[in-house]
Each structure stands twice: as structure tokens, then as C-alpha cells.
Amino acid sequence: MQDGTLSHAEAPGIPALAVERVSHSYGQRKALDDVSFSVPQGSFTALLGPNGAGKSTLFSLVTRLFNVRHGAIHILGFDLNGEPGEALRRLGVVFQARTLDLDLSISQNLIYHAALHGLPASAARTRIGEILATSELRTRLKEKARNLSGGQLRSIEIVRAFMHRPRLILLDEPTVGLDIRSRAAILAEVRRLVKEEGVSVLWATHLIDEIDPADRVIVLHQGTVRAEGPVPEVVAAERAKSIGDAFTRLTGLSVRAEGLEEVRP
């Protein structure tokens, strides 16, 4: 809220994201089957699942690309179907596909996006300075986006998602296609922003090494939630040695450096 007080819906006990008994099918193919989980406020929650688990479908529902027809989704207590404006105002998204306009400058990309959320250009410039305070990218704002590397483009997309001070940010496999150094840099940047801004993050990934023991994790496989909770609790519940081991026990999939794979007989 403008005056800094919390509305009832944003009281600390209300989850940043609550997904309740959501199902979604493409024709005969069921992509999500009775999926429920929550993302507590201020948490970094990893949505872990192999290709085809249903992560992108879930993101399409939370961003209202698709209508929620079965079940309900609440963002900070606001029902996505009942109060979509209030819910989406509190949401920032980094999609899997690149979405910057390469022919615009970096600052134009950010300022135009902020304008869509009602932020004037001057306020947007201040906000960019805040988010990029310690990044070398702040010296390159006038350059065309096409001059940036893949990792830098992703960083700017993350800045863009934070511009309007959302309370929940969804990132759909944001490090796909990046080298190890860029991956680590992006992850560290998002973790810093979670800490500094108290924002909640749902980070979809198929890479076990992106998960920290202090995170929460949701294991999604074949459209169903197999486990949810703080990493140590999920590991202990499976009597596993690590989150990778727990994942294998929960899904029958093996874990490799490049991602998660079906165990071949």
C-alpha cells in the first residue's frame, strides 16, 4: 500500500502465493493434476521438476495467460479470478524466453515496462539506480540491449521484473542456456534482492545445484506435487542424504549435472 501499512490480505501469515487444488489439461493431456502448494512471504522457493513436469503451465496460470478453471490461485490473498488487478499488481515475472526489445536501450526497456505499471520515468530511473547500485550494468544503460551477453540480458529482465516493487516474483528456469559463472551471478543477484526487499520468489528449475539448504522446495513431477517444504525437512522425510537423493526417491529420476533424467533400465 502507498502509506506503507499492510492491507489485511498482506498480513504476514498470508502466503505470497497459494495454489489450491489446481488442474490443467491440454486436450486429453493432463499437465497439472490437483496441485496445491504455497510460497510464504519473504521466502526463496525452488520449484524443482524435470522437463514436462508442468512448471511452465503453472506459470501460465499464475500470470493469467491461461484461465484457472479448476482450483484457485491467490497472490497475497487476492484471488486471481476474483480480483485479478489486485493480484497481478503484486506480481513480477521473468519468462523462460527472452523478452527484451533488442533495438531499444537498456534504460528504455526498463522505463517503458515501468510505465505499464504506472511508474513515471523519473521514479523509474531512481528505481533502476537502486536495483543496479552495485552492478557494472548501471554504466551501460544507454547502450542497445543487443550489445549485452545472454547473462546480462537476463539480469536486465530480472531488474525489469523488480521495477514496480512486486511482492512475488516468478522466474521460469531463468538460467537456461547460460554458462556456470552467469548462472551463479544471476542466482546470487536474486537472492540478494530477496533479502534486501523482502520479496518472495518462486524459482522454477531442473538443476539441483541451484537449490540452497536454506531454501524451500516444491518437487513437481508429471503434473503432481511430490513434496513441499524447507529443504532439510524434505530430505529428512525421505531419509535421504541430499536434496538430489530425495528427488530420486520421490520421482524415480536420476540427477545429473545438466539436469534431471529418467533412470533408464
Ligand X SMILES: Nc1ncnc2c1ncn2[C@@H]1O[C@H](COP(=O)(O)OP(=O)(O)OP(=O)(O)O)[C@@H](O)[C@H]1O
| Chain contacts with ligand X (rule: CB under 6 A) | 26, 29, 31, 49, 51-57, 173
98's torsion region: left (phi>0), alpha (psi -120 to 50) or beta?
Answer: beta
Q: In whole angstroms, how close is the CB of 176 to ligand X at the nearest point?
A: 8
Q: In whole angstroms, how close is the CB of 158 to ligand X at the nearest point?
A: 19
Q: In whole angstroms, how close is the CB of 235 to ligand X at the nearest point?
A: 22
Is 57 or 107 the residue whose CB approaches ligand X more closely?
A: 57
Is 29 or 241 the residue whose CB approaches ligand X more closely?
A: 29
Is 24 or 167 the residue whose CB approaches ligand X more closely?
A: 24
Say which amino acid occupies 119. L
Is 136 or 258 the residue whose CB approaches ligand X more closely?
A: 258
Radius of gyration for the alpha carbons in the chain, expressed in angstroms and rounded? 18
Q: Say if residues 243 and 235 touch (Cβ distance below 8 Å).
A: yes
Is 54 or 174 the residue whose CB approaches ligand X more closely?
A: 54
Q: Which residues contact 175 (CB under 8 A, 6 or more apart)?
A: 154, 182, 183, 186, 187, 205, 207, 210
Q: Which three cell numbers stand for residue 93?
A: 515475472
Which helix (H) or strand (E) is 51 found in, with range? none
Three-class SS of residue 211? coil
Which helix (H) or strand (E) is 20 found in, with range? strand 17-26
Q: In whole angstroms, how close is the CB of 53 to ligand X at the nearest point?
A: 4
Q: In whole angstroms, how close is the CB of 186 to ligand X at the nearest point?
A: 17
Q: Say if residues 117 and 164 touch (Cβ distance below 8 Å).
A: yes
